[in-house]
Amino acid sequence: MEINDKVLKTLKDAGKAMKAGEIAEASGIEKKDVEKAIKKLVADNKLHSPVRCFYDIKK
């Protein structure tokens, strides 16, 4: 499974907005890789940031 997919799955399973560090901890991915994936997913309009430093799936 690709890192972007893991990030999305982790957020979906959590059902709430999470910080990059929380996503990294929950998914077992390095935080720097999670941050790269978040940047890409935000650019692709799949994630948004409801509160500063928190990310959630765009509905």
What is the DSSP track for the chain? --HHHHHHHHHHHHTS-B-HHHHHHHHT--HHHHHHHHHHHHHTTSEE-SSTT-BEE--
Q: Work out the pLDDT band at 50, boundaries 50, 70, 90.
A: very high
Please, what CATH class does the domain formed by 3-57 belong to?
Answer: mainly alpha
pLDDT higher at 1 or 10: 10
- Mean pLDDT (whole number) for 34-59: 95
pLDDT in tens, 3-43: 999 999 999 999 999 999 999 999 999 999 999 999 999 99
